[in-house]
Structure 1
Amino acid sequence: MSREVRVAVFRPDDDRLENAVELLDSLGSTPVPDPMLAVEPTDATPEDAEYVVLTSKTGVELLDESGWTPGESILCCIGSATADAARDAGWKVDRVPEEYSSSGLVELLADEVGNSTVEVARSDHGSQVLLDGLRDAGADVHETVLYRLVRPEGSGKSTELAAAGDLEAALFTSSLTVEHFLDAADARGIRDDAIVGLNDAIVGAIGEPTRETAESHGIDVDVVPETATFDELACTVVETAAPTYHE
């Protein structure tokens, strides 16, 4: 197929974006890297608790750099990337839900955390579902904000491509990437046109919460992968945008 498949990717400007670009290249598509998230550490560390929940590779790396360790706490990680980063730090990972989501972890822990202390350490944009679910299960829950997620200055070139009808696909990896994309489009005065452009493209969302956020803003979501990983999201979206395009 001769049609160029331009795919917007919004990962933070670090190894995650580099790896994403490499993957999209290998699939025969044209990556459009447009980081929509930048990390601002708070330098906070989790309080002592019987359970510690970490929800991202970024949080693990910040804690590892600070010298924090889980000690005797039961360490729970959402997602394979988070768990792998924790193991790379030399920590024992005790719980990883089959479903890589807040609700998946709540379901896993609901029968065991009653009357226990649970420390949730994550970004400032974490889902309330996790805190509420653990509290409903009888846990004493405390949250520590490890880092803030902000929109990088100058982001948004993908919004211009979308508005011009020059994007074939977009990969949203969190609700915040959706919101920051729309903020960047708003700043350029092209929000409505960018949404129209996305709706003429193939839009992928990494999970149901991201899909719900996109659809609440009028963005049609075409792909939600069975497993909430970037690789599966990218592969499925590229194949949907251009079947048999890659070799």
Structure 2
Amino acid sequence: MTTRDTTVAVFRPDDGRLAAAAELVESLGATPVADPMLEVTATGATPRTDADVVVFTSKTGVDLAADAGFDAGDAVVAAVGDTTAGRLRDRGYAVDVVPAEFTSSGLVAALEDRVDGARVEVARSDHGSPVLLDGLEAAGAFVHETVLYELERPDGSGESAALAATGDLDAACFTSTLTVEHFLDAAAERGVREDAIAGLNDAVVGVIGPPTRETAESHGIAVDAVPDVADFDALATETVEAAAPTYHE
């Protein structure tokens, strides 16, 4: 198979990120299947300003908070990973904590020794893992969650699921637990869930990190690529390389 014959599904929100993801896949020599599995709807809420620690878990959350004029003041600012930390710095915030493991449990491990009795504000989407809240509360924190945005599956999504079901998808780049779940929901809506899973297992599946891998595998989807860095560029590059290893030649 030549790289240009390799079809690669990308699932980013259709707010500029989907087009950028498709462009990246094309630059790697493959053919993108742009299938938005997430739609971001801002709630209009802003993080509390009386917290001792403020936790951000995504670039989207950072942008919404910054656009609303959020002032972190003297609070300790924690980011789930380097990508979120980079966006915080770009928007003028100092970043005090980035865990060694870019997951909710990694954040808990990084913060648990400093939050006993502290007010912790967690600013994120409506689909955040309970692991973060439960872990911080177990460490003695007074936790408050602000839902900055909601994530839903857009109407009409699922082209990639149909292609997987017929064996016409060569690779897929899952960027979150929710993209896996929404892919399967779209497949079920089309009546091809089991065939789509079988198709993915004949293709190359790349995931952004361990939590997404766990979700995929819990649904019977074999995972072939997990980049060392939780970054879409790294995910796409590794997935295309696994699907068509001759693309460097």
Shorter-chain TM-score category? over 0.9
- Give the equivalent residue in structure 1 for 2:133: 131
Q: Distance in 1 between matches of 2:164 and 2:52?
A: 47
Q: Distance in 2 between matches of 1:246 and 1:197?
A: 26
- Give the equivalent residue in structure 2 for 1:29: 30
Q: Please report the TM-score for the alignment, with normalisation by the length of structure 1.
A: 0.96
Q: Distance in 1 between matches of 2:23 and 2:71?
A: 32
What value does the CA root-mean-square deviation take over the aligned residues?
A: 1.3
Picking from 139, 142, 152, the partner of 1:140 is 142
Q: Distance in 2 between matches of 1:215 and 1:123?
A: 23
In the alignment, residue 21 of structure 1 is paired with which amino acid? A
Mapping of residues 156-175 of structure 1, within 5 Å:
156-175=158-177
- Give the equivalent residue in structure 2 for 1:6: 7
- The DSSP-based 3-state class of the residue aligned with 1:184 is helix
Mapping of residues 1-247 of structure 1, within 5 Å:
2=2, 4-47=5-48, 48-247=50-249
The alpha-carbon distance between structure 1 residues 15 and 80, as it changes in their structure 2 partners (threshold 3 A), is farther
Q: Distance in 1 between matches of 2:196 and 2:235?
A: 21
Deviation at 1:214, TM superposition (A): 1.1
Q: Please report the TM-score for the alignment, with normalisation by the length of structure 2.
A: 0.95
In the alignment, residue 138 of structure 1 is paired with which amino acid? G
- The worse-fitting range, judged by mean Cα deviation, of 50-59 and 235-244 is 235-244
Question: Deviations for 1:63-94, whole angstroms, at most 9, x for unmatched residues?
Answer: 11111121221111112221122122211121
Unaligned 5+ runs, structure 1: none
Question: Deviations for 1:154-210, whole angstroms, at most 9, x for unmatched residues?
Answer: 111111111111111001111100110011111111111111111100011111111
- The DSSP-based 3-state class of the residue aligned with 2:196 is helix
Identity across aligned pairs (percent)?
64
- The DSSP-based 3-state class of the residue aligned with 1:67 is coil
In the alignment, residue 119 of structure 1 is paired with which amino acid? E
Unaligned 5+ runs, structure 2: none
Verify the 8 A CA contact 2:79 2:97 in the aligned structure 1: yes
